[in-house]
Structure 1
């Protein structure tokens, strides 16, 4: 089968032929219907994100996957061949380690992927694979960051820095939860316009000389309750910290690999500001999103910016890295 493989030591990526994986006990093999292309995949290729538990030097990328259960390993019950599913993006080990699919073990940029039977979540028959595939991470990561790490409550003021693949969904989910006002911050005009379409109350250019004044005006002078860094840019964190009000919390989702600097630690402590790190999501978050989608509370048709053949995965990576067309999510199909 074809698979998009990354050699960690050389950072070389190529789509090439590999053996079809065989499901072991308690596992299922899924025929991939679609797989999302995430900035984390770019970070892996660049070396910003490094696998912690990968066995060997190569891995098939892809942690956003939907498809059809094609075969069952020994002892699998409760899952049927032919079921349309999302594949959870990670798995827990008995020793407390958490492995990420497409990072620490082979992912879904392939024609088939093997996963634990407990890691698949059934999806409605009318949910397209390209929309379902992006739920693990592109939607579940901001959902978990908002509802779990950020603990956002209705009527809290929230700033969203970076309205790309994660931030665009963050705005949509915050709107559903009743956050107010929702302020989107992005240097790209197209991204700001998209944020307003997705439910932001205000969209700001971070380079605007009156940026702080706009934040104070929008929050009645109080500052933000919660700020989300979905961009992974150092300047964002400085601006976000300065925009927080009393007991405001900054949730860091985007990765930069560089130190976090607090300009005024006395002010930071006096106002009891907080910085919280966030990574990924838990299985329950994916299941919650599937139910919300099933109920019609959220939908992702606007989120798929392009569908690209798996064989052309390298071009999808370049398009995302260069932000060509300012995509929310690009999706690969075998």
Structure 2
């Protein structure tokens, strides 16, 4: 089935002006069949909205979304109103790390049936034969991609969601909805590992022990990285990383130190210069630290999202033949991610530290945005 940018289910600019959409007051108990969702807006508000239950069209399925993780980008859209050129200009539904149960199938759907458990790949490309990105399999570069929860497209943090069947991935019975939802950040990291070329015995640095950094830590260990170093500004996150991968070497970053000082500490902890950094913060000083910690011919692969314009130590990069690599979302990674979880290679379950009911999504966002709460991954469940 061919999908275009017109696939957007709702027009955000009309959401709360449409009588079919209703702002749910805080504390109100809604029926279990009410299609509620978490939205953010340009006023930096996050609230619950009741919206119509959609009906699947040709090639689509209706999903009862059972688990959705709150991503850093969700918090960023809420708190800061945009990421780069992606700006929140009106009401926008949040969420893109989701898994759920098929409860209705549309015309022409043969690969899925009612009762199937699926993870949702939420970057829906145009699939037009004239699109070079789609034709060559690099569909994350499709200029007409619809990415759920990225303005103006609504997300999957809702009870009932219509999704193209071709972008639903069946979950084996030994993979839970919780793990299925975590396959989205895992797909980001497996894409990075593939592009970065991580090899057995590489000295690897992970900068940032947030959810993506911790998934990168798990993947680097599974890929045979040794030694393995991880940095962060918070000791609690480093302690979590140490429990996750006991032989990882942790470094608490002091913001008062220079990148060169931090890089020297990384090299000392590793016992050698770093072959590959998976940079998961997007922060300029952290990227500088990774560059100075690298060996001649090393690579700094940037996964994190940061400021639109940054300064890099150009001549140090040039004189040491250090490569910079970048990743934009992912493509062709979901099947691999699911196999890694189903096969027990990657255990994502410890990452979920906080769970909330769908009706408590506002509290979930507050917890995810507050570093003092100790959250790694906050998930919203709907049984």
TM-score in terms of structure 1 length: 0.91
1:29–1:72 CA contact under 8 A, matched in 2:
yes
Does 2:53 align with 1:2? no
- Report matched runs for 1:97-246 at 5 Å: 97=143, 98-104=145-151, 105-137=153-185, 139-148=186-195, 150-199=196-245, 200-207=247-254, 211-221=262-272, 223-246=273-296
- Report matched runs for 1:1-334 at 5 Å: 1-7=35-41, 9-45=42-78, 46-49=80-83, 52=86, 57-93=90-126, 94=128, 95=131, 96-97=142-143, 98-104=145-151, 105-137=153-185, 139-148=186-195, 150-199=196-245, 200-207=247-254, 211-221=262-272, 223-263=273-313, 265-282=314-331, 284-334=332-382
Cα deviation digits, residues 24-81 of structure 1 (max 9, x gap): 2111111011111111101111223267599x83332110111101111121111111
1:35–1:109 CA contact under 8 A, matched in 2:
yes
- The higher relative CO (CA closer than 8 Å, separation ≥ 6) is in 1
| Number of matched pairs | 327
Give structure 1 stretches of 5+ with no counterpart.
none
Structure 1: distance between partners of 2:84 and 2:192:
22
Structure 2: distance between partners of 1:257 and 1:50:
8
Give the superposed CA RMSD: 2.1
Match of 1:298, SS state, is: coil
Deviation at residue 253 of structure 1 after TM alignment: 1.7
Cα deviation digits, residues 269-293 of structure 1 (max 9, x gap): 01111222223222x3111121122
Does 71-80 or 123-132 show the bigger shift? 123-132
Structure 2: distance between partners of 1:64 and 1:255:
17
Does 41-50 or 59-68 show the bigger shift? 41-50
Structure 2: distance between partners of 1:248 and 1:99:
35
1:48–1:256 CA contact under 8 A, matched in 2:
no
Give structure 2 stretches of 5+ with no counterpart.
1-34, 132-141
2:84–2:308 CA contact under 8 A, matched in 1:
no
Structure 2: distance between partners of 1:157 and 1:29:
45
Aligned twin of 2:13: none
Larger radius of gyration: 2
Does 251-260 or 66-75 show the bigger shift? 251-260
Runs of 4+ in 1 over 6 A off after TM superposition: none
Deviation at residue 163 of structure 1 after TM alignment: 0.7
Deviation at residue 167 of structure 1 after TM alignment: 0.7
